[in-house]
Amino acid sequence: MSNFTEMDSYLFGQATHYEIYEKLGAHVCKKDGKKGVIFDLWAPHAKQVFVIGQFNDWNETSHEMEKLGADKNGIFELFIEGVKEESLYKYLIITEDGRKLYKADPYASYAELRPGTASAVYDTSNFKWTDKRWMNARAKKTEEDVYKEPIAIYECHPGSWTRHPGRNDDGFYTYEELAKKLVPYVKEMGYTHIELMGIAEYPYDGSWGYQVTGYYAPTSRYGKPDEFAAFVNECHKEGIGVILDWVPAHFPKDAHGLAEFDGEPLYEYPDPRKGEHSDWGTKIFNYEKNEIKNFLIGSALMWVEKYHVDGLRVDAVASMLYLDYGKQNGDWVPNKFGGNKNLEAVEFFKHINTVVLGRNHGTLMIAEESTAWPKVTGKAIDDGLNFTYKWNMGWMHDFLDYMKLDPYFRKNNHNKMTFAMSYNESEKYILVLSHDEVVHLKCSMINKMPGYEVDKFKNLMAGYAFMMGHPGKKLLFMGQEFAQLQEWSEKRELDWYLLENPKHKYMQDWVKALLHLYQENKSMYELDHSWKGFEWINANDADRSIYSFVRRSEDGKNNMLFVINFTPMERIDYRVGVPEKKTYKLVLNSDSTRFGGDAANKKTSYKAEEKECDKKRYSFAYPLPAYGVAIFKF
């Protein structure tokens, strides 16, 4: 009896075979009492398919696959006795016109370490999870719970976070070593989640994992699939969520990959005007075809359900939504209504987000979407895309434009820091300072800052405080928490030696203090998407480039007042208006000695008096240092 049944074929053809990875690919099993591996491949245009690998010395004709009946939708199948786990293999596809194609398995669970391109047999069912408490708590979360919880994400490229010196295998830390070193660091710093770049298998290091060939395989650069599972398990044990970058927008043209898989366009649109990103040199998935949608949906579900991943950050969403994205007139095909929206991609997003979130309560689907497309986080029933969160690229660009300015010119650009609040309720946002902003001659975060070295550090401290106080969940790319000087490169580890310099250690301590303050106070995250959780005290102090605002919790307890000075001018007589006649306790002060300041101001408690300021009835005076940040609790 075939492993791939008529029901499998039907569901696959409807894009609703949500465990398709259990059927297609290579699976260790027993047949007629004999142990081996059953191989199933979807290749509807192929004339013949052979399995070649270590088990048969790569013999091209000894193991031909059987094409299942017409109702099986182009499935080829073969059981081979005695194939050992981790054996390398490929499919040799003979095309209708007689060409030979040597392809990796699109559904492989594991892959050969690059530069090798073969797939590897791996049984992923043996890992013993011990994160039941985490998974049960996750499953109990409602949608509202997710929006009200703190989310502070450490974006990390595992291969360059740190490395072993002098090793001839690139010095990569393994999944096991990352679990022992990265996870405690993230927890100590006060992040809630790790977002990992480049986990799905990919051939070229320089793509950072954004040109995927193995959508079902954790990259072998850092170890085996079970070792990746153990990393996720350890994160959960330590209370850290795991988010993966996931790339359903495009795929590379590498000969062993998905491009023209069975001799004809299969995974990509057949018309190159729809099926290629010429700027990126990649192919675009064919979202019209149910089997392709199923391939992608199955991949997403596998990471979330089989590997217990807590969320997916979906890359390059805008490139999927717009048919003319990055293309010139004549190089793209309008939709049936004559517009530039990719209607199939829109439906794909509604489908995948509804399924992933519906089956896995408490998980996240995050859109990296750079345009003003409406309702990215809106409900599918209301014609939204149904993402949990959207990266706030508009906030990021405005923030960075402002932070790069000489303080003298900031007064004329004051609205760059206030504008994002005008649209804050339109989506559920994550504020991001991602890897894309510290590569390709854009400078590291510290070197974007104007002024002398001492000013750069104070500027960045003020900027991070503004980000932490502003509504929206948070994401910061690795290295920027201690003011990495060099731009990021995947070819080397972060410059951890900088922490021997007190200025860099002070920055790391500042970010750590901000993150812990964030996690410990509901007012800083509970009402991120509502004006109930935020109030400008003074959004218009352009001449002094000072911003003051309040963050509120639902129960009105532990509210926070932020005062941030973005100039080198000390304001000894600074007075801030406040909403209530209360005592305001200074809980974080950038001028403290623990962050390299002189802590001239020892006072930590300020009682509001009935004296009008900032159009408020009450106020108090506070000596605000140059580039000073003062955060009060009331």
Q: What is the pLDDT of residues 174-208, one digit of tens each?
A: 999 999 999 999 999 999 999 999 999 999 999 99
- The span from the CA of 607 to the CA of 491, in Å, is 53
Q: What is the pLDDT of residues 563-591, one digit of tens each?
A: 999 999 999 989 999 999 999 999 999 99
Grade residue 600 by pLDDT with cuts at 50, 70 and 90. low
Q: How far is CA 392 from CA 368, 426, 438, 591, in A?
A: 8, 11, 17, 30
**Contact at 8 Å (CB) between 190 and 153?**
no
- The span from the CA of 469 to the CA of 566, in Å, is 15
SS3 79: strand
**Contact at 8 Å (CB) between 462 and 629?**
yes
- The span from the CA of 537 to the CA of 552, in Å, is 13
Grade residue 13 by pLDDT with cuts at 50, 70 and 90. very high
Residue 71 has pLDDT above 80, yes or no: no
Q: What is the pLDDT of residue 69?
A: 81
- The span from the CA of 244 to the CA of 137, in Å, is 20
- What mean pLDDT is predicted for residues 431-436? 98
Grade residue 388 by pLDDT with cuts at 50, 70 and 90. very high
How many other CB atoms are there within 10 angstroms of residue 86's CB atom?
A: 12
Measured CA angle at 632 (ends 479, 477), to 5 deg: 15
Q: What is the pLDDT of residues 445-504, one digit of tens each?
A: 999 999 999 999 999 999 999 999 999 999 999 999 999 999 999 999 999 999 999 999
Q: How far is CA 372 from CA 63, 293, 377, 426, 427, in A?
A: 52, 25, 12, 10, 10
Catalytically active residues, by annotation: 315, 368
Q: Which two tokens stand for residue 344?
A: 């199939």
Q: What is the pLDDT of residue 545?
A: 98
Q: What is the pLDDT of residues 37-66, one digit of tens each?
A: 999 999 999 999 999 999 999 999 999 999
Which domains occur in the chain, in start order?
6-120 (2.60.40.10), 531-633 (2.60.40.1180)
Grade residue 168 by pLDDT with cuts at 50, 70 and 90. low
Q: What is the pLDDT of residues 31-41, one digit of tens each?
A: 999 999 999 99
- What mean pLDDT is predicted for residues 330-356? 96
Q: What is the pLDDT of residue 70?
A: 67
Element (H, E) at 135: helix 132-140
**Contact at 8 Å (CB) between 370 and 318?**
yes
Grade residue 601 by pLDDT with cuts at 50, 70 and 90. low
Closest CA to 607 of 620, 588, 589: 620
Measured CA angle at 594 (ends 593, 600), to 5 deg: 20
The residue ranges of DSSP E strands in 88-226, in sequence order, are 88-94, 100-103, 110-111, 119-120, 152-156, 193-196, 200-201, 214-218
Closest CA to 197 of 181, 182, 184: 182
- What mean pLDDT is predicted for residues 122-127? 95
Q: What is the pLDDT of residue 6?
A: 92
- The span from the CA of 620 to the CA of 605, in Å, is 10
Plot region of 400 (φ>0 → left; ψ -120 to 50 → alpha; else → beta)? alpha
- The span from the CA of 125 to the CA of 242, in Å, is 20
Pair type for strands 429-433 and 473-477: parallel
- What mean pLDDT is predicted for residues 218-231? 98
Q: Which residues lie across from 314 on neighbouring strands?
A: 246, 367
Ordered DSSP codes for 102-129: EE--TT-SEEPPTT---EE---TT----
Q: How far is CA 504 from CA 188, 189, 273, 404, 489, in A?
A: 17, 14, 49, 19, 19
- The span from the CA of 6 to the CA of 8, in Å, is 5
How many other CB atoms are there within 10 angstroms of residue 409's CB atom?
A: 12
- What mean pLDDT is predicted for residues 312-329? 96
Ordered DSSP codes for 563-609: EEE-SS--BTT-EEEESSS-EEEEEEETTSGGGT--------EEE-B
Q: What is the pLDDT of residue 602?
A: 72
Pair type for strands 241-246 and 311-314: parallel
| Chain-centre distance for alpha carbon 510 | 24
Answer with the residue of higher pLDDT: 330 or 249.
249
Q: Is 548 exposed, middle or buried, given 0-12, 13-18 or 19+ CB atoms closer than 10 A?
A: buried
- The span from the CA of 232 to the CA of 162, in Å, is 18
Answer with the residue of higher pLDDT: 1 or 363.
363
- What mean pLDDT is predicted for residues 229-258? 98
How many other CB atoms are there within 10 angstroms of residue 169's CB atom?
A: 8
Helices 343-359 and 290-301 cross at an angle (nearest 10°) of 30
**Contact at 8 Å (CB) between 196 and 156?**
yes
Residue 1 has pLDDT above 70, yes or no: no
- The span from the CA of 34 to the CA of 78, in Å, is 14
- What mean pLDDT is predicted for residues 245-262? 98
Q: Which residues lie across from 243 on neighbouring strands?
A: 195, 311
Half-sphere exposure of 565 toward its Cβ, with a 13 Å CA cutoff?
Answer: 24
**List of residues 6+ apart from 429 with CB closer than 8 A:** 389, 390, 391, 392, 395, 471, 472, 473, 528, 529
Q: What is the mean pLDDT of the chain?
A: 96
Closest CA to 271 of 337, 202, 209, 342: 342
Q: Which two tokens stand for residue 144?
A: 């509202």
